[in-house]
Structures are given as C-alpha cells and as structure tokens.
Amino acid sequence: MSDTIIRMEEDFTHVDVLNADQLEIGDLIGIGGEIVKVIAIAPLHYGFNLAIENNFGEKDFVDVSEDDTFKLYIENF
C-alpha cells in the first residue's frame, strides 16, 4: 500500500493553493488524502458542490465551504 501512495505522490507536483472559488473543471486537487480531478462544480448557498474523480475512475460528490482551500497539483510527465 505504501508503494502505491509514494508512486502517486511522485506522479504529481504541488504548484499552488487555491480557494474554493478559484477551482476550475479539470483541476487536480488534494481532498481526503488523495489527488482527484474536478469534473463539475455547482454553486451552493454556502459554497460549492464538487464532482470529483480519483485515479481509479471512481466518481464522488463533495460539498465544500467558500472558506476551504485546496492544494493544486500538476501531473509529471
């Protein structure tokens, strides 16, 4: 398990920290200990609902506050 986590961290480089209102579709961000791709953003009264996809193709929805910040990553080639 640790080899998989180390390998995933080597595949990405942390480049910035974004506020929730700065997120865009296609961004790679850190949520819940993993790096996920933002595939949709819907505004809510108190923040945003993000549709995300992990590197296994599993999709999920996450509600975030306007005050939340996220690490932005780029993929290493």
Q: What is the pTM of this model?
A: 0.85
| pLDDT score for 8 | 53
Query: What's the rounded mean pLDDT across residues 23-41?
Result: 96
Q: If you average pLDDT over residues 18-39, what whole number do you get?
A: 96
What pLDDT is attached to residue 77?
82
Q: Name all domains of the chain by residue range, CATH numbers in brackets.
A: 2-75 (2.30.30.30)
Checking if the pLDDT of 38 tops 90, the result is yes
Residue with tokens 């480049």: 15
**Which pLDDT score is estimated for 1?**
44
Strand 34-43 versus strand 47-53 pairing type: antiparallel
Q: Is 66 helix (H, G, I), strand (E, B) or coil?
A: coil
CB neighbour list of residue 24: distance below 8 Å, 6 or more residues apart: 38, 41
